[in-house]
Amino acid sequence: MKKLILFLILTISCLTIFAQTPNQFKYQAVLRNTDGTLMIEEDVTLVISILRSDLTTSVFEETHSITTTSQGLVNLNIGSIEDLSTINWTIDEYFIEISVDGTIMGTSQLLSVPYALQAKTAESVTGPVTETDPNFSAWDKSSGISITESQISDLDHFTTTDETDPLFGVSLAAGITSADTALWNDKLDSYTETDPLFDVSVASGITTVDTAYWNDKSAFDGDFASLYNAPNIANTTYAKNITLNTNDATSSVNITKNNGTSVLKVDGTGRITGDGSGLSNVKPLINYIGGDQRYQITANYGSYNNVRSVTMTAPSSGVCFIMASGYLDWESTGWDLILLGILMDQDPNTSWNAEDEWYEYLNIITDYNCPDSSDQYTSFAQHRCIPVSAGTHTFYLWANKHSAAAKTEIADVNMSVMFFPTGGTGKSSNDAMIKEDEPVIREERVPNTVAGYK
């Protein structure tokens, strides 16, 4: 839409005579485009606002949809749509704001024209006013006027003391006399009260000496010997039992650190658990699996069979000592090799890191020196120490064979896992006991012939 230049011909004419004053005044304006040409016979929307002197408070607003004349002129009556009579012209100065098609074109002060509307209301009266008031003329101004209580309705008991309050009359306060209130302001000056209930209570014997350390009741210095009638805890022969509610794991006695970590917990089954910090001579936890099953080793060179696995939940960080034992049944003639290794939470079939670790802790068993028979037996035993964190862990005995054609079975495999918490000073967490030597890594390919084996 073209921008407008508004040339105002403000013909604000009072459509008024004193006898009958309509609440309207005329407004004329010539509208031009930004290039100065007249806006001829165009539809426009004018919004007329009347503002107070702060130029923000609007007291009147109306919208006119109008068509300009052939000379670009608009004529309208302000007040023909909305009511101007609601404006009190006497309390402030007023300004008129014009908006054409949403664009504010300017603000101008209203001077005298609309104030003709105020002529409908007289602000002052001049000339004599004749009033006849028989009561007023009868008043003797020299002596004043006397109004009695009876001349005013509902003014009973204003000058007399004959009022009776039925609620106050039956209350306890009605019996209070001036003698009863003589010491109201001095109520704290008397210490002669005797309380028969207090005198026979234990509290009556408390003195200021007894209360000297009330505010220091939490400041115990840790010296039990300074306590009154303190027991000799170290040498006492009195045993105190702590009875649990049930004989299962739902009841327990738990000793914790100040951070909430459990140091020692005993439940209704007699099981003792803790994080191992500072504990000495703690018995290790043991998980075991065993039996007389036989396992046919089918994996060789890059694949692995899981012979046995044991799962244990460690209550804290520590070290697990894993032991595996059993025997091998060489079911085929000729010689072969069986390779065994223990891993925790790892599968060498899917992880290069697990496979590398398996080779580092490898146990190689062979029937090379056995008589060449299909029924030869070789026993084995191997172990490993693995540091663990708190949580559930699974320990695996992985195996494979050298010759794909060999038929070798592993039988009667027993596997145990012992958990030792770390952080204490006892034997169960002695560094020398749980230390695992760094393995010497030697890379040598397993030979394919007996002549190459050494």
Neighbours of 400 (CB within 10 A): 21
What sign does the CA torsion over 381, 386, 390, 396 have?
negative
- Would you say residue 257 has pLDDT above 90? no
CATH code assigned at 291: 2.60.120.1340
The residue type found at 398 is: W
pLDDT digits (tens, 9 = 90+) for 27-78: 888 888 888 899 999 999 999 999 999 999 999 999 999 999 999 899 999 9
Residue 338 and residue 252 in one domain: no
pLDDT of residue 309: 92
Residue 361 and residue 413 in one domain: yes
Give the domain-ending residue among 77, 101, 120: 120
Domain count, the chain: 3
Model confidence pTM above 0.85 = no
Residue 262 and residue 308 in one domain: no
Residue 289 and residue 272 in one domain: no
Residue 233 and residue 294 in one domain: no
Residue 27 and residue 49 in one domain: yes
**Distance (Å, whole) CA 434 – CA 385:** 7
Say which residue the tokens 């052939």 belong to.
Answer: 70
Q: Please indicate, yes or no, if residue 32 is contained in any of the structural domains.
A: yes
pLDDT of residue 390: 92
Query: What's the CA angle centered on 161, arms 158 and 167, to 5 degrees?
Result: 95
b/e map of 218-241 (b: 16 or more CB within 10 Å)? Answer: eeeeeeeeeeeeeeeeeeeeeeee
Residue 293 and residue 271 in one domain: no
In which domain, by residue range, is 302 found? 285-434
Q: Please indicate, yes or no, if residue 173 is contained in any of the structural domains.
A: no
CATH code assigned at 29: 2.60.40.10
CA distances from 106 to 12, 65, 369 (A): 16, 19, 116
**Distance (Å, whole) CA 415 – CA 170:** 95
Neighbours of 110 (CB within 10 A): 17
Do residues 92 and 56 lie in contact, with contact meaning Cβ atoms separated by under 8 Å? no
Measuring CA to CA, which residue among 384, 392, 395, 298 is closest to residue 343? 395
Q: Please indicate, yes or no, if residue 139 is contained in any of the structural domains.
A: no
Q: Which is it for strands 408-421 and 294-297: parallel, antiparallel or unpaired?
A: antiparallel
Structure tokens at 16: 């008024």
Give the domain-ending residue among 64, 99, 120: 120
Residue 266 and residue 342 in one domain: no
Residue 327 and residue 364 in one domain: yes
Residue 292 and residue 399 in one domain: yes
Residue 391 and residue 345 in one domain: yes
- Would you say residue 22 has pLDDT above 70? no
The residue type found at 57 is: T
HSE of 433, CA atoms in CB hemisphere, 13 A? 18
Measuring CA to CA, which residue among 31, 33, 37 is closest to residue 9? 31
Do residues 100 and 31 lie in contact, with contact meaning Cβ atoms separated by under 8 Å? yes
Chain centre to alpha carbon of residue 16: 70
- Would you say residue 108 has pLDDT above 60? yes
Residue 115 and residue 228 in one domain: no
pLDDT digits (tens, 9 = 90+) for 391-418: 999 999 999 988 888 888 898 899 999 9
Do residues 284 and 273 lie in contact, with contact meaning Cβ atoms separated by under 8 Å? no
Measuring CA to CA, which residue among 380, 391, 396, 381 is closest to residue 419? 391
Query: What's the CA angle centered on 290, arms 286 and 291, to 5 degrees?
Result: 155
**Distance (Å, whole) CA 42 – CA 40:** 6
Give the domain-ending residue among 241, 276, 311: 276
pLDDT digits (tens, 9 = 90+) for 313-372: 998 888 999 999 998 888 777 778 888 999 999 999 999 999 999 888 888 888 777 776
- Whole-number average pLDDT of the chain: 76
